[in-house]
Structures are given as C-alpha cells and as structure tokens.
Amino acid sequence: MNKYLSMAGAASRREADRLIVEGKVKVNGLVVTELGTKIDEETDRVAVGGRPVSREKLGVTVLLHKPKGFLTTVKDPLGRRTVMDLLPRLKTRVFPVGRLDADSTGVLLLTNDGELAFRLTHPRYEVKKRYVARVDDVPTDESLAKLRKGVFLEGRRTAPARADVLWKAEGRSILALEIHEGRKREVRKMIEAVGHRVRELKRTHFAGLTAKGLKSGDWRFLTDGETARLRKVTGLEVQESRPKKNDASRKKRN
C-alpha cells in the first residue's frame, strides 16, 4: 500500500505509513490500518482523506534551477513561497525529490514517480550529490580529513564525503563537498561541525545532472536518456513512457 501511494504521488512511503496507521486510507470504502496491506492496482479503489487516489502515468521528471528563498515542499501552511510556484503551468502533478533548504540554490529534481524519488534519496543506493559552498576561513587538512571520514551530527556519524578546497583567500574559501546522504541541512551542518560558517550553498550536481543552460528559476523536462540513466543508477527498469521529445528541451520561466 505505501508503495502504491508513493507511486501515485499521494505521499512519501514514510508519510503513507503514517496515514495508514491513522486510519486515513480506505480501500473499496473500508478503512485500512495494517501496514504492508496488499492491493490490486487494477480493481481496488483507494482513497486518502476521502479523496480518490489513482496511479498516474509515470516518467515525468523535471529539473529545476532552484533560486534562493523558495521552500522545497509542495505546500507551506504559512503561505510562504515554495518551488511549486516556479512551475505554474506544469499540468502533471510532481513533488520534490529530497531536500534543498530555502537559503540554498541549484539542482532540484521533481517527479511523479514515487519509487524513483525514494531510490534517489535513500542512502542505500548511494546517489551522489555535489555541493559548492562559500565559507568563512580556509579549511585545514585536518578539517577536510574529518569531512572525508564523516562527522558526528545529532549522535550519528555522516557517511564519508569527498571534500576539496576549490579556491581560497585570506579569511574565506570555496569548498566542494560530494555526499550520497540527504539529512536535513546536512551539508551546512557538516561544514559548520568542522568550524566554518557557510555563506552560500549551491547544489551543482544530482546523480550527474546539472542546471547548465538554465537560468535561476527556470526548469525543463529530463530527456529520455537522462531519465533512463536515473533509473539505471537506482536499479529500476527503463520504462517506455516518457515526456515527448519536444517537451524535453522546452524551458519554462515563472
């Protein structure tokens, strides 16, 4: 059930489990509260909070060049701007893949494929994400070694990261960090844990994808080849359903 709700774009797997336990999911008009419940996608009628859920056509993934000041969420209860405000004319319902905090910029993927999103963000699949940070002071060899080995955040060590100084001057530097985890504000916290304040943070790569050719706030559909590579790197079979070729290169701007 949780996989079906995720694939349908109704909720993440973790959120789906919560909805099931809270009795907000119905199958054929009956409340289902047991985790691991199996359903027949062809015949069973599923509803969440009274709203019917149907598995949408998969294969729509968008790459957004996220600007600063937008929350990475579908909706904000306080009415603040979210990344969805940058996709006003997108007809297919998509949701963000992982996190990118409001103060950060760069590559953000949005999709309607819940299983792909799950695998892109789960540490088990070790999908690489590269960040460039403008920081105070210059990291020492010891600081870089700590980042490469992993630092303790909230009682748990982060996975080993690739860390390099790209540029340095008196009292400031630019640091590149490559990770495959995705804890909340993890990159900022890792850098701060070794004694450096982050002034700017940009995600330059996600699973090998970049925002090259996109201005801040612009987006585009992934090409067939890019989608196929994402599914390959996460161990998913390549599906035939893809955005139209002319859509793949189309850019939108809010």
- Please indicate whether residue 101 is annotated as part of the active site: yes
pLDDT over 90 percentage in the chain: 67
Q: Which of 87-91, 123-127, 140-144 has the lowest mean pLDDT?
A: 87-91
Residue type at 112 in one-letter notation: N
pLDDT at 227 over 70: yes
pLDDT (0 to 100) of residue 229: 93
Q: Model-level pTM?
A: 0.74
- pLDDT at position 249 is 41
Cβ proximity of 156 and 113 under 8 Å: no
Interior angle at CA 198, CA 194 and CA 202, nearest 5: 120
| C-alpha of 132 from chain center | 17
Domain assignments of the chain as residue spans, ordered by start = 2-53, 61-123+208-247, 128-206
Asked whether the domain spanning 128-206 has the same topology as the one spanning 61-123+208-247, the reply is: yes
Is 3.20.20.70 the CATH classification of the domain at 2-53?
A: no
pLDDT at 12: 73
Question: What average pLDDT does range 58-78 have in this prediction?
Answer: 92
The CATH class of 128-206 is alpha beta
Instruction: Give the pLDDT mean for 181-202.
Output: 95
pLDDT at 34 exceeding the cut of 80: yes
Q: Which of the residues 17, 76, 101, 137 is marked catalytic?
A: 101
Kindly report the number of other CB atoms within 10 A of residue 197's CB atom.
Answer: 12
> How, if at all, do strands 30-31 and 162-169 pair?
unpaired
Residue 175 CB-density burial (10 A; 0-12 exposed, 13-18 middle, 19+ buried) = buried
pLDDT band (50, 70, 90) for residue 58: low
Q: What is the pLDDT of residue 9?
A: 65
Beta bridge partners of 64: 108, 219
**CATH-assigned architecture of domain 61-123+208-247:** 2-Layer Sandwich (3.30)
Provide the 3-class DSSP secondary structure of residue 84: helix
